[in-house]
Amino acid sequence: MSTATGPDATSTSPAVNPRALARGGSAPTARGPRESILSRTGAMLVMAIFTLYFLVPIWWLLVASTKSRGDLFSTNPLWFADFQLFQNIAGLFSYRDGVYLRWILNSILYAGFGAVVATLLAGMCGYALAKYRFPGRETIFNVVLGGVLVPATALALPLFLLFSRVQLTDTFWAVFLPSVVSPFGVYLARVFAEASVPDELLEASRLDGAGELRTFFTVSIRLMFPALITVFLFQFVTIWNNFFLPLIMLRSEDLFPVTYGLYAWNSTINQFPELRTFVLVGSLLSIVPLIITFLLLQRYWRTGLGTGALK
Q: Judged by CB under 8 A, does residue 276 bind other proteins? A: yes
Q: Judged by CB under 8 A, does residue 10 bind other proteins? A: no
* Phi and psi, residue 35, nearest 5°: -125, 160
Three-state DSSP at 134 gives coil
Q: How far is the CB of 245 from other proteins (least distance, A)?
A: 11
Q: Judged by CB under 8 A, does residue 263 bind other proteins? A: yes
Q: Judged by CB under 8 A, does residue 269 bind other proteins? A: yes
| DSSP codes of every residue in 245-300 | HHHHH---GGG--HHHHHHHHHTTTTT-TTHHHHHHHHHHHHTHHHHHHHHHHHHH
Q: Write each residue from 167 to 206 as x if it is in contact with other proteins (CB under 8 A), else as -, in one continuous string.
A: x-xx------------------------------------
Q: Judged by CB under 8 A, does residue 73 bind other proteins? A: yes
Q: Judged by CB under 8 A, does residue 241 bind other proteins? A: no
- Give the integer Cα–Cα distance in Å for 33 and 118: 42
Q: Judged by CB under 8 A, does residue 70 bind other proteins? A: yes
Q: Judged by CB under 8 A, does residue 253 bind other proteins? A: yes
Q: Judged by CB under 8 A, does residue 247 bind other proteins? A: yes
Between helix 275-286 and helix 37-65 the angle, nearest 10°, is 130
Q: Judged by CB, which is closer to other proteins: 225, or 244?
A: 244
Q: Judged by CB, which is closer to other proteins: 142, or 268?
A: 268
* Residue from the set 25, 77, 112, 147 that interacts with other proteins by CB under 8 A: 77
Q: Write each residue from 78 to 107 as x if it is in contact with other proteins (CB under 8 A), else as -, in one continuous string.
A: ------------------x-----------
Q: Dihedral angle at the C-alpha atoms of 42, 43, 44, 47, nearest 10 degrees?
A: 120
Q: How far is the CB of 71 from other proteins (least distance, A)?
A: 9
The amino acid sitting at 237 is V
- For the chain, the residue count is 311
| Radius of gyration over every alpha carbon of the chain, rounded to an integer in angstroms | 24
Q: What is the DSSP letter of 27?
A: -
Q: Judged by CB under 8 A, does residue 266 bind other proteins? A: yes
- Give the integer Cα–Cα distance in Å for 20 and 109: 35
Q: Judged by CB under 8 A, does residue 146 bind other proteins? A: no
Other beta carbons within 10 Å of 78: 20
* Phi and psi, residue 160, nearest 5°: -60, -45
Task: With beta carbons less than 8 A apart as the criterion, state whether 258 and 103 touch.
Answer: yes
| Binding stretches for other proteins (CB under 8 A) | 1-2, 5-6, 69-70, 72-74, 77, 96, 153-154, 156-158, 160-161, 164-165, 167, 169-170, 244, 247-248, 250-253, 263-276
